[in-house]
């Protein structure tokens, strides 16, 4: 692994809770469906999404697209479900993810196999290596994985859980020990997968708990938090670790996950959280992704400037409450980056 710091190290310095001359910015789902160049590439290549993820050259090209608008990090174009396929749970996208045989029984959980990512997912390492060569040390590369509970929800529902996740929530109530058995196995695999990404040159990793907004406080504490702690503990001392827990308000508990950076949603007052916990963790967020999709230019400008002010250029990475929505006008994405750059110039003039 090349441990050389990128020329633009704003994000890494912010992750270390340092004051930065301007607030670094990147977007969840920045390499994807809201970008017209991505749409053109998808139409031209004609590949199904599950095949596109396995095509290292195209995945590299897509990952790099946001660099042209000035983001401060490149995240690998991949899906949180990628690690599940070699385990025996292959999702296809039609267009959303579909698993033909959802996991429902203990025997199915037992049949899920652990594996070595370098043997079963070589295209991930290849993509990261190609990204490193293409970027040439200019920007940090971000890796990521789905958190165990989020992956479990997909496995149990056999599709995107939406806002109900009936089967998953039923298992929580009726067979919690069985769910923990599944989560243990997924945590083991997630540690291997993220370690593999780190070995292939990522400068930071993000753990996506994308189902956090569906959980009660007790459910989050029992079924999500312990596995965050376990994963981050195993990866301690490697690269900055970011926890994204979608619209999870319990910042006190999230701080104890071991993450270096907490990516918080609109349910969290960023300024208050940073004031209370800024000596222990950095923060990422928390611009409303729906506002970015549907708001006026004036509303977006005000929200971005308020977010930057709340972070106060101290241990803060600008990002969204969740991923970019498909309907987000790409000029709005550019606008956010431009405001971040302008704010820096105003502060250092």
CATH of the domain at 247: 3.20.20.210
* pLDDT tens column, 36-85: 999 999 999 999 999 999 999 999 999 999 999 999 999 999 999 999 99
Please check whether residue 40 lies inside any domain of the structure.
yes
* pLDDT tens column, 322-347: 999 999 999 999 999 999 999 963 44
Counting the structural domains of the chain, the total is 1
10 Å CB burial of residue 335 (0-12, 13-18, 19+) is: middle
Beta-carbon contacts of 150 under 8 Å, excluding residues fewer than 6 positions away, are 80, 208, 209, 210, 211
Please check whether residue 195 lies inside any domain of the structure.
yes
Based on its alpha-carbon atoms, the radius of gyration of the chain, rounded to whole angstroms, reads 19
Of residues 345 and 205, more confidence is placed in: 205
* Mean pLDDT for the chain overall: 95
Of the candidates 112, 190, 90, 121, the one whose C-alpha atom is nearest the C-alpha of residue 149 is: 190
Hey, CA dihedral for 214, 218, 220, 222, is it positive or negative?
negative
Please check whether residue 316 lies inside any domain of the structure.
no
DSSP structural state of residue 167? H
Say what the pLDDT of residue 5 is. Answer: 85
User: What is the residue whose two structure tokens read 């004031």?
Assistant: 275
What are the tokens at 67? 């660099």
Report d(CA 63, CA 65) in Å as an integer.
6
Q: Taking 70 as the threshold, does the pLDDT of residue 286 lie above it? A: yes
- Entry pTM: 0.96
178-201: average pLDDT? 98
Please check whether residue 62 lies inside any domain of the structure.
yes
> HEC states along 39-54?
HHHHHHHCCCHHHHCC
Q: Taking 80 as the threshold, does the pLDDT of residue 26 lie above it? A: yes
Please check whether residue 314 lies inside any domain of the structure.
no
265-294: average pLDDT? 97
Please check whether residue 139 lies inside any domain of the structure.
yes
Confidence of residue 95 (pLDDT cuts 50, 70, 90): confident
What are the tokens at 200? 């292939």
């Amino acid at each position: 692994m090349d441990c050389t710091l990128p020329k633009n190290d704003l994000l890494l310095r912010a992750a270390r809770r340092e004051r930065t001359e301007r607030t670094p910015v990147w977007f969840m789902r920045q390499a994807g469906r809201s970008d017209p160049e991505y749409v053109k590439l998808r139409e031209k290549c004609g590949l199904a999404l599950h095949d596109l993820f396995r095509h290292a050259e195209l995945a590299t090209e897509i990952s790099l697209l946001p660099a042209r608008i000035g983001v401060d990090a490149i995240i690998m174009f991949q899906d949180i479900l990628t690690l599940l396929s070699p385990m025996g749970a292959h999702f296809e996208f039609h267009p959303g993810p579909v698993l033909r045989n959802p996991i429902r029984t203990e025997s199915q959980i037992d049949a899920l196999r652990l594996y070595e990512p370098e043997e079963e997912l070589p295209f991930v390492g290849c993509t990261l290596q190609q990204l490193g060569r293409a970027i040439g040390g200019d920007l940090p590369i971000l890796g990521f994985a789905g958190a165990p509970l989020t992956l479990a929800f997909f496995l149990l529902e056999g599709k995107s859980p939406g806002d109900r996740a009936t089967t998953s929530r039923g298992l929580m109530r009726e067979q919690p020990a069985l769910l923990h058995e599944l989560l243990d196995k997924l945590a083991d695999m997630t540690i291997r997968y993220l370690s593999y990404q780190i070995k292939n040159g990522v400068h930071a990793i993000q753990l996506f708990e994308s189902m956090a907004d569906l959980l009660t406080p007790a459910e989050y504490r029992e079924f999500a938090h312990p596995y965050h702690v376990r994963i981050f503990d195993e990866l301690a001392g490697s690269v900055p670790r970011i926890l994204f827990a979608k619209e999870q308000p319990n910042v006190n508990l999230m701080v104890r996950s071991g993450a270096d950076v907490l990516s918080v949603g609109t349910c969290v007052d960023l300024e208050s959280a940073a004031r209370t916990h800024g000596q222990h963790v950095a923060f990422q967020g928390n611009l409303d992704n729906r506002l970015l999709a549907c708001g006026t230019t004036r509303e977006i400008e005000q929200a971005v400037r308020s977010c930057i002010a709340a972070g106060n250029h101290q241990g803060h990475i600008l990002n969204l409450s969740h991923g970019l929505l498909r309907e987000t006008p790409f000029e709005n994405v550019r606008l956010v980056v431009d405001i971040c750059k302008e704010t820096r110039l105003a502060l250092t003039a």
